[in-house]
Amino acid sequence: MPDQDKPQIYLISPPEIELQSFGPLLGQILEACDIACFRLALSTTDEAEITRAADHLRQICHARDVAIVIDSHYRLVERLGLDGCHLPDGAKLLRDVRRELGADAIVGADCATSRHLGMSAAEAGADYICFGPVADNGLGSGDVAEAELFQWWSEMIEVPVVAAGGLSADLVRALSPVTDFFAIGPEIWGTADPLATLQTLMAAR
């Protein structure tokens, strides 16, 4: 059983996967760790490739009672039997997506470092708001979601908040009191032992 006093883990797929190797790895991780949700976040826009991956990984997730959402492609949610979607552009499409998918679907929104976008997405019906990156990886604008943002959100807003992007054990430790979820993906997939790396991050909560 997950420890209800600790933030839960929200696992993000690599942008490219080889199903024969990634499927067993995902199953191993879900067996060993309490994962609240898995996001399929592939870089490809090829619908056949996305469908193959979603069909395969949905079975692995649902067999272990883990929700699976898809990044961006909300129109595929119902057809592929997924639990919802993650929108990378804040509140922009949220009302329309919520109307299309219904109240039971998980609809989350990435709001970068913006309180305003976060509040707009929450008002539009988001199930969670994702802020990040929490550390500068040198790839984006350089804007970072500081601990103060999570502190303010956790005190003022009821919608769950997710911390993502550049997580380290130190950041996990620091943000645990003020976030509901940690979104972890790039931090583990490039390492020699993704499961062990994930367990190290989880232990810092």
Helix/strand/coil (H, E, C) string of 96-113? HHHHHHCCCCEEEEECCC
Answer whether CATH 2.40.110.10 is correct for domain 8-200.
no
State pLDDT tens for residues 11-27.
999 999 999 999 999 99
Average pLDDT over residues 5-12: 96
pTM, two decimals, is 0.95
Contact 132, 111 (CB under 8 A): no
Q: Is 99 exposed, middle or buried (0-12, 13-18, 19+ CB in 10 A)?
A: exposed
Who's near 145: CB < 8 A, 6+ residues apart? 112, 113, 131, 132, 133, 134, 163, 165
User: Domain limits of the chain?
Assistant: 8-200
State pLDDT tens for residues 173-186.
999 999 999 999 99
The pLDDT > 70 percentage for the chain reads 96
Who's near 71: CB < 8 A, 6+ residues apart? 39, 40, 41, 42, 85, 86, 88
Contact 180, 8 (CB under 8 A): yes
CA distance 85 to 107: 5
pLDDT at 90: 84
Model confidence at 40, pLDDT cuts 50, 70, 90, reads very high
